[in-house]
Structure 1
Amino acid sequence: MKTSKILMILAVASLLFACVKNKNGAPAQTQAESAFNMIKVSEVIQGGSYTYISATENGIAKWIAVSKQEVNPGEVLYYYDALPMENFHSKEIDKTFDVIYFVNKISKTPGTEQPAMSGGMPSSHQGKVAVSDAEVEITKPEGELSISDVYANKADYSSKEFEIRGVVVKVNEQVMGKNWVHIQDGTGNGGNFDLTITTQADVKVGEEVTFKGKLTLEKDFGAGYFYDVIMEDGTLVNKQVAEI
């Protein structure tokens, strides 16, 4: 009985809060809504992987990049957070931006909570998922290093160079001047089965690749992009079409 009364009180309080008006008679924004940034689109350039948006925010013109999607001039859009890049050159549209802001998600309405860090920018493994969710599985001979081994002994691999083989499941091209490659081999440790590698090498989803490098631990790129483990500036040793 007490639980049902508490739920009833919370529901009524939620309705009352939603009806609060500001001085102009418009519904007041919640704290989460006010955290979102509002832009008005003036120009759109579609690239191969990204949509480049020229917009105004609080009267200031700026460029924003997001994973490729339909956006139209004149639309009012919202985003939560952004990662600014100075003197960024986009190869896919052959344009250099003095400053461009990479955002994870845009929407036509302000959200009520911070969106998950995924989409346009390279995703980070902050959550834990089951190894069974891995998209690929490849056969490795006994003694060959696996992604499970890497995560289980990450401190060791941050101090020595190693080679790791896997299948490319995702690529974010030319973000912060690098390609961000996600590989899997069907193994994992502690819920981590996807290894992120930054590189200048060009690879495609579905290719079986071998990279060489060292791990960087607890890497914080800002704007919520935190990696427990990442191989930075990896060297491509070999690639071929995967046989899964």
Structure 2
Amino acid sequence: MNMRFFAVMMMGVVLMTSCVKKKKEAVQPLDTSAGSEMVHAVAVKKALQANAYTYLLVSEGDQDYWIAVDKMEPEVGGTYFFADAMEMKEFKSNDLDTIFASVFFVQKLSTTKDASTMSMKNPHGTAPGRQSVDQDESISVAPAEGGITIASLFENKADYSGKDVIVSGKVVKVNNGIMGRNWVHIQDGTNADGSYDLTLTTDAEVAVGDVVTMQGTVALDKDFGAGYFYDVIVESATVK
């Protein structure tokens, strides 16, 4: 009788433990053996909406896998196209309280098979030194006390390499929780020969539209792998 009671209790503990474990989405990884330039045609099977991203369970041939794109309203059952993508393994979405065994971050999903518009060589910019967002010419943010403009940073980047700087600007794009940090793009209205958008990595949470002053360390020619290359980036930034 005691042994039976113990067995029932142990089964209850197992069930309770399984209930509180975070959901984990496990799927077969994407076959990229054909090369990074191939165009993937996928059918959407399921969509999960988070704050900044839409996570899509898609099928391609006999494979099912997850991709993440900037927030959108996809057509479930619809067909979309993308070129190469960046895989993140064991990626946790705090918004969904879900761990994806594998998810591919896609910069642009298209309804047409035009590979030339879907490059993901740099998830935060189409090439080193180029911005992934257009310049907002309505932005005009003056430097904070002791701070510099974005144009000054780009124009004199060698002088600032490895040094702490203070920059102010309006947040125009945010990618949270990538590689264990948040990626913030700011603009202040200045422009140095086409360089107007500055990326900072931070643990702080900011939103698009916020006007912020941040301090961090300048790094040059930073290559994080998976297409994350920056000629200028401010790392470990904090909001002042």
Question: What is the aligned length?
Answer: 202
Is the contact between residue 84 and residue 100 of structure 1 (CA under 8 Å) also seen in structure 2? yes
Matched residue, 1:208: 211
> Of the candidates 93, 98, 102, which is equivalent to residue 96 of structure 2?
93
**1:58-81: CA deviation from partner (whole Å, max 9, x where unpaired):** 312211000111223322221111
Provide the rounded CA distance (Å) in 2 between the counterparts of 1:114 and 1:192: 21
Counterpart of 2:174 in structure 1 is 171
Given the alignment of the two structures, is residue 189 of structure 1 paired with residue 183 of structure 2, yes or no? Answer: no
Matched residue type, 1:186? G
Change (3 A) 1:112 1:74: same
Please name the residue that 1:40 is paired with.
Answer: 43
Residue aligning to 1:5: none
Identify if the C-alpha distance between structure 1 residues 41 and 219 changes in structure 2 by more than 3 Å, giving closer, same or farther.
same
Report the equivalent of 2:52: 49
Gap change, CA 1:141 and 1:112, over 3 Å in 2: closer
Amino acid at match of 1:37: H
Residue in structure 2 matched with residue 115 of structure 1 by the alignment: 118
Identify the match of residue 80 of structure 1 among 74, 79, 83: 83
Q: Percent identity?
A: 41
Quick one: which of 61, 72, 75 aligns to 1:69? Answer: 72
Structure 2 counterpart of 1:123, which letter?
G
Contact 2:216 2:235 in 1 (8 A): yes
- 1:106 paired to 2:109: yes
Match 1:229 to one of 227, 232, 239: 232
Distance 1:115 1:36 in 2: 9
Of 189-198 and 69-78, more deviation after overlay is shown by 69-78
Shift of 1:57: 2.4
Residue type of the partner of 2:168?
Answer: R
SS in 1 for 2:46: strand
Bigger Cα displacement from structure 2, 221-230 vs 62-71:
221-230
Task: Report SS of the residue matched to 2:158.
Answer: helix
Q: Distance in 2 between matches of 1:229 and 1:218?
A: 6
The answer (yes or no) to whether the contact 1:179–1:199 under 8 Å persists in 2 is yes
| Gap regions ≥5 residues in structure 1 | 1-33, 238-244
Summarize deviations over 1:135-176 as a string: whole Å, max 9, x none. 411234797421122111212222222222222222222233
Partners of 1:224 and 1:232 in 2: CA distance: 17
RMSD: 2.9
Equivalent residues of 1:83, 1:222 under 8 A apart: no
Deviations 1:167-219 (A, max 9, x none): 22222222333221111222222221111111110112232212111122122
Rounded to whole Å, the distance in 2 between the matches of 1:110 and 1:178 is 33
* Secondary structure of 2:112's aligned partner: coil
TM-score (norm 1): 0.72
Question: What is the match of residue 202 of structure 2?
Answer: 199
Q: Distance in 2 between matches of 1:49 and 1:133?
A: 20
Change (3 A) 1:141 1:168: closer
Which stretch shows the higher mean deviation, 158-167 or 46-55? 158-167
Residue 222 of structure 1 and its aligned partner are, at CA, apart by 4.3
Aligned AA for 2:179? Answer: M
Give the secondary-structure state (helix, strand or coil) at the position aligned to 1:123.
Answer: coil
* Cα deviation digits, residues 21-64 of structure 1 (max 9, x gap): xxxxxxxxxxxxx8211222221111122111112223122110
Residue pair 2:160, 2:218 contacting (<8 A) in 1 also = yes
Q: Does the 8 A contact of 2:52 with 2:70 survive in 1? A: yes
Query: d(CA) in 2 for partners of 1:37 and 1:226?
Result: 24
